[in-house]
Amino acid sequence: MSRSSELFSQAQHSIPGGVNSPVRAFNGVGGSPLFFERANGAYMFDVDGNRYVDYVGSWGPMILGHNHPEIRDAAIEAAERGLSFGTPTAIEVTMAEKIIEIVPSIEKVRMVNSGTEATMSAIRLARGYTGRDKILKFEGCYHGHVDSLLVKAGSGALTLGTPNSPGIPADLAQHTLTVSFNEPDEVRDVFERYGDEIACIIVEPVAGNMNCIPPAEGFLQTLRDVCDQHKSVLIFDEVMTGFRVAPGGAQEYYGVTPDLTCLGKVIGGGMPVGAFGGKREIMDHIAPTGPVYQAGTLSGNPVAMAAGLAALTALQDHGLYQVMNQRVETLVNGLQEAADEAGIPLTTNHVGGMFGFFFTSEKVTSFAGATACNMEHFKAFYHEMLKRGIYLAPSAFETGFMSMAHSETDIEETLQAARQAFASLK
Ligand code: PMP
């Protein structure tokens, strides 16, 4: 029995499901999860001493690669001065200024400790600012485990929200409207019916929680237009896309400016950090300037700020993005070629450092498309890749992440494994 399997069995007794976040349990692919003990650059090493080329990157933040020396050293140096003060610190100001410099739509920003806190706070702010209760989200987009956002649509068409977890009051969920991603007509219809009751639209500008699904041409602009017409707040959840698809996120890549932006993971360089920010006029509604309450004892934690600032500073070398994007193209083109050669139906999507592959011959542009793929192929492929030292997200509904530390050799190693894995599916 591997050490990972032993630990997973042991963990079942003390941790629900043996994990501290559900997708880690390998429910999406079957089998037992690996336990990791260290990571460096493009590689992660499990407790059994195996090395993997990693395309999860701690679910996004490791854009510069694992254990980046400048980020690690900044965190250690900050830790030597104290782990938390619960008071204002100079580095929070520097961090806010850095985010504002890189993401111009953000005029003021508040730090939090996770992506969930960022989206929760942003929708409360949008509701408080507009005095409206309803929010609009998209089927297949995930924004953390916020009550109002853990709401499921029954089908593509407009659904009045029903909770998709026990513990969420139906009275709250009914304020969440859900329509299909990439269907501008559905958005316009909802706004015709409920426009003056909708506080905000929240969207992943590139959907990364139903695999990787880029916005259709003009889709994000439609969201901007309906929000302008109805005085609703447009929130981009850039927890995954921020500093990844472009330095300034999807809003820079697609040229559409939201009112509020949620950031996460990436801005902590691996430490638990999130943030939400945007127009000064809206952000000034937050306490203590305004009446919308939001707080956090450890928000702006000095160690997390030091790591995050080091990450954002390193990411200002824009040449790194070109190299990363090129590696993504080499990878997805190589996967396509390998699948074609093996006669396995496959399509791919990618934007900047995010990529996805789907076991289907149809281009995937929606949640319905993502769920219609061949899951048996995905699971089998997953384990064939894992056996060959390639660590992909253990779910067909997660985007893949490239880092700036992946070399051409790493990509070739991955494609070599993929050729064998596809061949084994025949
Ligand atoms: N928004 C998006 C787009 C996410 O992908 C995630 C997490 N994967 C979240 C919000 C929630 O972030 P966290 O898990 O840090 O709470």
Q: Ligand 1 centroid vs 143 CA: distance in angstroms?
A: 5
Ligand 1 contact, 355 CB (< 6 A): no
Residues 90 and 170 in one domain: yes
In sequence order, the 6+-apart residues with CB closer than 8 A to the CB of 424 are 380, 384
Ligand 1 contact, 144 CB (< 6 A): yes
**For tokens 């237009």, what's the residue?**
225
| Domains in the chain, number | 2
Substitution candidate for ligand 1 out of 240, 245, 276, 354 with most atoms within 8 A of CB = 240
Residues 259 and 354 in one domain: no
Q: Ligand 1 centroid vs 343 CA: distance in angstroms?
A: 35
Residues 54 and 92 in one domain: no
Q: Ligand 1 centroid vs 264 CA: distance in angstroms?
A: 7
> What does the alpha-carbon distance between residue 185 and residue 193 come to, in Å, rounded to a whole number?
12
Ligand 1 contact, 113 CB (< 6 A): no
Residues 212 and 282 in one domain: yes
Residues 121 and 170 in one domain: yes
Nearest to 208 by CA among 237, 234, 179: 237
Ligand 1 contact, 270 CB (< 6 A): no
Residue 161: predicted pLDDT: 67
Q: Ligand 1 centroid vs 89 CA: distance in angstroms?
A: 26
Q: Ligand 1 centroid vs 262 CA: distance in angstroms?
A: 10
Substitution candidate for ligand 1 out of 23, 56, 59, 116 with most atoms within 8 A of CB = 116
> What does the alpha-carbon distance between residue 132 and residue 175 come to, in Å, rounded to a whole number?
10
Question: Among 267, 295, 314, where does a domain finish?
Answer: 314
> What does the alpha-carbon distance between residue 314 and residue 74 come to, in Å, rounded to a whole number?
12
Share in percent of the chain as helix, strand, coil (round to 5): 45, 20, 40
Nearest to 132 by CA among 49, 216, 199, 225: 199
Q: Which domain holds residue 307?
A: 69-314
Ligand 1 contact, 393 CB (< 6 A): no
Question: Among 314, 342, 365, where does a domain finish?
Answer: 314
Active site residues: 142, 237, 265
Residues 302 and 368 in one domain: no
> What does the alpha-carbon distance between residue 96 and residue 103 come to, in Å, rounded to a whole number?
11
| Atom number of ligand 1 nearest to Cα 119 | 10
Ligand 1 contact, 264 CB (< 6 A): yes
Residue-level length of the chain: 426
> What does the alpha-carbon distance between residue 305 and residue 311 come to, in Å, rounded to a whole number?
10
Amino acid at 236: F
The residue contributing the CA closest to ligand 1 atom 1 is 143
Ligand 1 contact, 59 CB (< 6 A): yes
Residue 165: predicted pLDDT: 85
The residue contributing the CA closest to ligand 1 atom 12 is 115
Nearest to 175 by CA among 203, 126, 216, 136: 136
Per-residue pLDDT of the chain (426 residues; tens, 9 = 90+): 999 999 999 999 999 999 999 889 999 899 999 999 999 999 999 999 999 999 999 999 999 999 999 999 999 999 999 999 999 999 999 999 999 999 999 999 999 999 999 999 999 999 999 999 999 999 999 999 999 998 875 444 455 566 778 899 989 999 999 999 999 999 999 999 999 999 999 999 999 999 999 999 999 999 999 999 999 999 999 999 999 999 999 999 999 999 999 999 899 999 999 999 999 999 999 999 999 999 999 999 999 999 999 999 999 988 999 999 999 999 999 999 999 999 999 999 999 999 999 999 999 999 999 999 999 999 999 999 999 999 999 999 999 999 999 999 999 999 999 999 999 998
Ligand 1 contact, 237 CB (< 6 A): yes
| Atom number of ligand 1 nearest to Cα 264 | 15
Residues 261 and 402 in one domain: no
Q: What's the token pair of residue 392?
A: 């992909």
Ligand 1 contact, 276 CB (< 6 A): no
CATH classification at residue 15: 3.90.1150.10
| Atom number of ligand 1 nearest to Cα 144 | 11
Residues 248 and 369 in one domain: no
The residue contributing the CA closest to ligand 1 atom 2 is 143
Whether the Cβ atoms of residue 279 and residue 236 lie closer than 8 Å to each other: no
Residues 50 and 85 in one domain: no
Question: Among 260, 281, 314, where does a domain finish?
Answer: 314
> What does the alpha-carbon distance between residue 281 and residue 269 come to, in Å, rounded to a whole number?
29
Residues 240 and 98 in one domain: yes
CATH classification at residue 82: 3.40.640.10
pTM for the whole structure:
0.97
Residues 42 and 125 in one domain: no
Residues 176 and 286 in one domain: yes
Beta bridge partners of 234: 201
In sequence order, the 6+-apart residues with CB closer than 8 A to the CB of 414 are 53, 55, 331, 334, 385, 390
Ligand 1 contact, 116 CB (< 6 A): yes
